Structure 1
């Protein structure tokens, strides 16, 4: 009986480490989008998405998958630039807002613009979380939690496979010719 209780506590601790629950109505919790958009600025057939994305990108961006923690190409990557949606190129996060949260995925304190991120309630895996999606194409990015640094108190936990990085010089974008 004691062994079962100990194993249960360990399992609960392991499943909640790195990604804490967001309780509905908590003070700093982002407010999920009311309703889901009927259409996005960028729309493609599933066949087109499959052709345009790698297998890993498709799994994360279009099927809502999650890459294994501590494995993504941007997890320990800290260069100046902007992170864009891997599916449509929408600017999502600046490197100045990236921090090492220790959760196993790239973490950001805030998006480049609030309207570039769509939020939805996610009740999968026995938790209540706030899923984040690209507002331009509807692709899954990750989740947002309320355990981030000041001043926002938010941690946008994003899959590397959902992102593309563009370097910046100082605080100005590189000019594309």
Structure 2
């Protein structure tokens, strides 16, 4: 009886902790938010930029609020999350963020057994579920190689140019 009471209290406190975190607008602990800082993806969110929420086994989500959807990856696939951007340098007159997302850009994904094309969203992201394999990602004359693994998320950023500003 005592053992059941203890386990009941442990379950209740765990449940309440998760429910309170969600109610407070916090991300579920299994999701990790990444932002692009101009060089690579980091787990810290950058104010004013879209973040990408990742969780193994789930399709990544571009997050503009704190509630990512939980869409499982199709069986036997992994995900590719691509961020296309232009590097921005300068900004003496007006502060610049360092990267400008490339929205609406056509991207080709080329593999041994699969070739497809997609278009980036308004935040510069393209998210795909793909069979595990090595791929070449091509965009406006630029390319990157990436490996997609079953149940895992691959993050790739492609710089599509550089812009100098005052």
- Regarding TM over 0.5, the answer is no
Return the structure number with greater relative CO, CA threshold 8 A, min gap 6: 1
Larger Rg: 2
The structure with the largest helix share of the pair is 1
TM-score by length of 1: 0.28
TM-score by length of 2: 0.29
